[in-house]
A and B are shown apart, each in its own frame.
Chain A
Amino acid sequence: MCHQTVSLVARHLEADGISTVIMGCAKDIVEHCGVPRFVWSDFPLGNSAGRPFDVESQREILESALRLLESAPGPRTTVPSRLSWSADTTWKRDYLDLAKLSPDSIAERRKEFDEVKAIARGKREGA
């Protein structure tokens, strides 16, 4: 949801004349929504701004975003970061991987999801 949220917000700011750039990992969600400028890192969700404790990677991704603010020729400009998370790409299979879930664990996940939804609803209504 995070990637969709910032995509919608970027569109709103841009429509009012503020230049925006998104740094993110979920390429399909951002591009499906359609945004002005996007720096895409092919990293696990949670690392939109670089690798942990790797200041150089964080600087490089921010610099890509700044350059995009200066030079994007038009909307829907995506710049992929040249950095990779790991030489081994098997991490990409793990996120929401159904193949690894037994029927019991699927039932368990559903129960957990219903519980967190109820907590979120309570919070939202109280907000």
Chain B
Amino acid sequence: MNDPDGPIPYMQRTRDYYLALGYGTPYRWAHFDDVPFAPLAKPLREARVGLITTAAPFQPGVGDQGPGAPYNAAAKFYQVYSGPTDTDPDLRISHVGYDRRHTSAKDINTYFPLARLREAVAAGRIGALAPRFHGAPTNRSHRTTTESDAPELLRRCREDGVDAVVLVPS
């Protein structure tokens, strides 16, 4: 048994859950032996920082996307998107499997730390925010993410001239 107070074994629970639902082939989670590492090339107070989210822009007409909404596949997106960081976007998480029992999803700052990043810039903790944030589509296919979405996100981050990126799953 897992330690009930330890980290939640999400991979095991997902496997058991979908097996119980009758789906025979367990999902293979991405796994790599080697991990790349690029030290930050300049002090953070001079660095430009980007933000990548898996949250989705609110889309009128595709059903309930509000706090506590049931899983809403119609609100999913399949292309990388970008938005300006000098305004507050309306991003929702009804399209992903967050903990609907214990998470209110009423405060965007719990999954999209743009306001906190702006504070860090104002405090001189980081040099600047990238002009845009970027949205990463959540896809079951590792290949789609690795071969299509990640290269597109890299291209946009390069255009933004970022030194570092904060990534926040919903």
List residues of A whose CB falls within 8 A of some B CB. Answer: 1-29, 32-36, 40, 42, 44-53, 55, 58-59, 61-63, 65-66, 69-70, 72, 74-76, 85, 89, 91-98, 101, 106, 109-110, 113, 116-117, 119-120, 123-124, 127
Contact = CB atoms under 8 A, between A and B. Distances in A.
- Residue picked from B76, B97, B113, most chain A C-beta under 10 Å: B113
A93 B125 contact: no
A17 B52 contact: no
25 contacts: A2-B96, A5-B139, A9-B149, A9-B153, A14-B35, A17-B41, A23-B168, A26-B10, A33-B32, A34-B32, A45-B103, A46-B98, A50-B113, A51-B110, A52-B104, A69-B47, A70-B40, A70-B43, A74-B37, A89-B4, A89-B5, A91-B99, A96-B17, A101-B20, A123-B74
Contact of A59 (B97, B116, B126): B116
A19 B168 contact: no
B11 A2 contact: no
Contact of B167 (A20, A29, A50, A75): A20
B88 interface: no
A22 B168 contact: yes
B99 A44 contact: yes
B24 interface: no
Contacts of A47: 103, 110-111
B36 A11 contact: yes
Contact of A76 (B29, B35, B79, B93): B35
Interface string B109-139: 1111100110110000110000000001111
Nearest to A4: B30
B119 A120 contact: no
Given A21-B166, A34-B32, A123-B73, A8 B145 contact: yes
B163 A46 contact: no
Interface of B: 4-5, 7-14, 16-17, 20-22, 29-41, 43-44, 47, 52, 54, 71, 73-74, 76-79, 93, 96-99, 101-107, 109-113, 116-117, 119-120, 125-126, 136-140, 142, 145-146, 149-151, 153-154, 157-158, 162-170
B1 to A, nearest CB: 12
B97 A1 contact: yes
Contacts of A48: 110-111, 168-170
A5 B32 contact: no
Contacts of B99: 44-46, 91, 94-95
Contacts of A27: 7-8
Given A45-B170, A46-B99, 19 more contacts: A3-B169, A4-B29, A5-B139, A8-B150, A10-B167, A12-B146, A13-B153, A16-B38, A18-B165, A28-B7, A46-B98, A46-B110, A47-B103, A50-B116, A58-B109, A66-B125, A85-B102, A95-B101, A97-B13
